[in-house]
Chain A
Amino acid sequence: MARMYIFKRFERFWHWAQAALIIFMLATGFEIHGTYALFGWEKAANLHTTAAWTLIGLWLFAIFWHFTTGEWKQYIPTTKNVVAVMNYYSVGIFTGAPHPFRATQLSKHNPLQRLAYLLVKLVINPLIWVSGLAYLYYNELAALKVPVLAGLQLGPIALVHTAAAFMMLAFLIGHLYLSTTGHTPLAHIKAMITGWEDAEGDEPAANTVKEGAA
């Protein structure tokens, strides 16, 4: 049985720390929203803010890591094999067909993953960053006397922030489920913990994905 080292140490740390922070911020965030009482409003608000700064710190490291290691290329979208992968998840997975994609060190994500993660990185995350920082600093922003910011009200800021939170929640649910779709239900999760992916199982039917960095 072949094993392949796919996820590096920092990458795994980043992933799990981010996962914990996002789940924690969803929990505290919806309490601040008024959906339920869990920690107590004040505590929830304080924890949410602390977690936000922690996550921003983590993101800064992650961005640095992505660019210095060239790992950012993992998220360049590709249309190749998208249909094959979609077919696999809608049909093949039920009939026991092999996954059309096999992860390699240079191409960790299948084309659907690339698209999904890119959506998170380019749409959901920026929405949360910008609206979240505005949520924290709208007083100061309004005081800057910049015309665009002068009329900044908390209502619209909170609206965007809440909308982004719902998107993140939907992503989280989908992501959690899809993590169970490896050759065993825990295969992907194990790989994300140890870094090593089993190359066990059927050979991929059409492993023609080429490196985006070519």
Chain B
Amino acid sequence: MRTGILATALMASMLFASTACVSADAATEKLLKSTSDHTKFKALQQEFNSGPEVTKACLSCHTEAAKQIHKTQHWKWEYRSPDGQLLGKKNVINNFCTSITTNEAACNVCHVGYGWKDDKFDFTSEVNVDCLVCHDSTGNYRKPAGLAGNVVTKAMEFPPGSGNIIKPIDLKKIAQAVAKTSRDNCGACHFYGGGGDGVKHGDMDSSLASPDKALDVHMDALGLNFACATCHMTEGHQVPGSRYAPTAQDKEGAHIRGKEDKTNPTTCQACHGQAPHKKIAKLNDHTDKVACQSCHIPKFSRGGVATKMSWDWSTGGRMGPDGKPLITKDDKGRVIYTAAKGDFVLGENVVPDYQWFNGRVIYTLFSDKVEKSDTPTRINRFEGSADDGKSLIWPVKIMRGKQAYDPVNKRLAIVHTAGNDDTGYWTNFNWEKAVAAGMASVGAPFSGKVDFVATESTWPITHMVAPAKDALGCRDCHAAEGRLEKVTGIYIPGRASDHAGWLDTAGWTLAALTLLGTLVHGFGRIVLRKRK
């Protein structure tokens, strides 16, 4: 009896304690997340009229932040490759929207800065660093296209005379709610590369903002819920894991805290080590030849957002029956033609291409000669082979295109596309004018003629990692006409093209002749025995 009362009292007190814990925990949790509450900072308790004003306030405490940003690719948009090529968005011509040059006001809304509208931008300015685009936690921060990355704090009509009103944003609220970067921050640009959702990469689109486990086992919003920075472990604003400097093969073990490790933290091996397959150990024998991604990302564009697989600029400029720029949609309502951009081929749930890749990427740059005969012109190409000791078989997206070039000077064209002026292609649909303006902006000669050249670019597939149960099975590659059919220099059991034809012929002939011999011998025995 007495013990009964005691037990009841005990249970009641536990119940009480646990209820009290809930609210205390929430407050504690918030407290333990950060030593600072940005709503309490005097510097942020003011109305801001522009982005740089906010940055100035940020820098009043985070004194070195802008200097750190100045050292990043996010700021410079420039990268010198180990091969000496000057890359980065500032220099590369791709086969999507092709080039930022003369189109900065539109393209550079994705620059982590304010006001890069032409080649006069001051890369030493600290207040022009945009802190909020990466640290906004409200989801209300906007950098409208055409304003060179600037934000709007008073309602304005843009483009002027269009009747399109851009709503202002409340910079004070946004500044007071800054936080660590989230998938939404990175995604605001990286999901939309190439001019729209999912267009460029194939393995990155808005479906990764809040993915389920099947789409991305790590970013699963109800599970591991990784932010981008969980893998792209950033220190001092330097984000590792750029595709400009990829790690094709990581032979190191998993990173261990306390142990200095300068290798790329974004690789699968950086967490999973070299022998991640516990149940089926034979799978570990694949890791010296096959990138993890090849089996664990069975398809890309798996989240319901299509990616562009090809883009033909040469068909642009068609007007509809109403005299307005033509736009065509497919039966799913997706745009597959616009007068501004030409024809697209879209892809969803795409099986990647596979190729050897050693981390070296060679680009065809503006300064390189382009021949129509070298079809396709490789905007970039992944180097690698079976026997260089540095390559793995990687899944890639091959983007095919047709884009403008100068057939006389044999150079890829810099096209002035965006802009409310007489030469912008998207306004006036005149290739000669648009290319003339683009080439003139960099002081390059232009013959006055525009033709189109077939191009191809290669993109690594590394996001949208599926759960283990959805990884490829043996038969996907260990078969004739399997996924790795075109990958040379390696023997894959079950792939018919690897067989030594003479051996199969000799072997089956030997077996057949033996069988025939026994049959004849046996037949002889039966016949002669009967006769006897």
Q: Among A34, A45, A94, A165, which residue has its beta carbon within 8 angstroms of that of B525? A: A94
**Residue B277 at the A interface, CB < 8 A?**
no
Known: A42-B475, A93-B525, A139-B285. A166 touches B506 (CB 8 A): yes
Known: A139-B288, A173-B518. A41 touches B528 (CB 8 A): no
Q: Please choose the segment from A4-12, A114-122, A151-159 that sits at the chain B interface, where 4 or more of its residues have CB less than 8 A away.
A: A151-159
Q: How many angstroms from the CA of A167 to the CA of B474 in the assembled complex?
A: 27
Residues of A within 8 A of B496 (CB): 34
Q: Among B285, B503, B524, which residue has its beta carbon within 8 angstroms of that of A159? A: B503
Interface on B for A, CB 8 Å cutoff? 282, 285, 288, 473-475, 478-480, 490-491, 493-496, 498-500, 503-504, 506-508, 510-511, 514-515, 517-518, 521-522, 524-525, 528-529, 532
Residues of B within 8 A of A139 (CB): 285, 288
The contact size tier of chain A is: 20 to 34
Known: A41-B474, A96-B529. A162 touches B507 (CB 8 A): yes
The answer to whether A166 and B507 have CB atoms under 8 Å apart is yes
The answer to whether A45 and B474 have CB atoms under 8 Å apart is yes
State the main secondary structure of chain B at its contact with A: helix
Q: How many angstroms from the CA of A42 to the CA of B473 in the assembled complex?
A: 8
Q: How many angstroms from the CA of A144 to the CA of B522 in the assembled complex?
A: 52
The answer to whether B507 and A41 have CB atoms under 8 Å apart is no
Residues of A within 8 A of B499 (CB): 33-34, 162
Q: Among A32, A96, A162, A173, which residue has its beta carbon within 8 angstroms of that of B514? A: A173
Complex A-B: 9 CB contacts under 8 Å: A41-B479, A93-B525, A94-B528, A154-B490, A155-B491, A155-B498, A166-B506, A169-B511, A177-B521
Known: A96-B532, A166-B511. A34 touches B474 (CB 8 A): no
**Residue A174 at the B interface, CB < 8 A?**
yes
Residues of B within 8 A of A180 (CB): 522
The answer to whether A169 and B475 have CB atoms under 8 Å apart is no
Q: Among B498, B514, B528, which residue has its beta carbon within 8 angstroms of that of A174? A: B514
The answer to whether A158 and B491 have CB atoms under 8 Å apart is yes
Q: How many angstroms from the CA of A40 to the CA of B476 in the assembled complex?
A: 11
Residues of B within 8 A of A173 (CB): 511, 514-515, 518
The answer to whether B500 and A159 have CB atoms under 8 Å apart is yes
Residues of B within 8 A of A170 (CB): 510-511, 514
Q: Among A94, A153, A166, which residue has its beta carbon within 8 angstroms of that of B491? A: A153
A2 to chain B, nearest CB (A): 24
B512 to chain A, nearest CB (A): 9
The answer to whether B503 and A33 have CB atoms under 8 Å apart is no
Q: How many angstroms from the CA of A96 to the CA of B341 in the assembled complex?
A: 90
Write out, one digit per residue, whether chain A residues 33-48 have a CB within 8 A of any chain B CB (1) or not (0): 1100000111001000
From B507, B508, B522, B525, name the one whose CB has the most chain A CB atoms within 10 angstroms. Answer: B507
The answer to whether A33 and B494 have CB atoms under 8 Å apart is yes
Which residue on chain A has the smallest CB distance to residue B528?
A: A94
Residues of B within 8 A of A153 (CB): 491
Which residue on chain B has the smallest CB distance to residue A151?
A: B387
**Residue A205 at the B interface, CB < 8 A?**
no
Which residue on chain A has the smallest CB distance to residue B500?
A: A159
Residues of A within 8 A of B522 (CB): 177, 180
Q: How many angstroms from the CA of A30 to the CA of B100 in the assembled complex?
A: 56
A204 to chain B, nearest CB (A): 19
Write out, one digit per residue, whether chain A residues 164-203 have a CB within 8 A of any chain B CB (1) or not (0): 0111011001101110110000000000000000000000
Residues of A within 8 A of B498 (CB): 155, 158
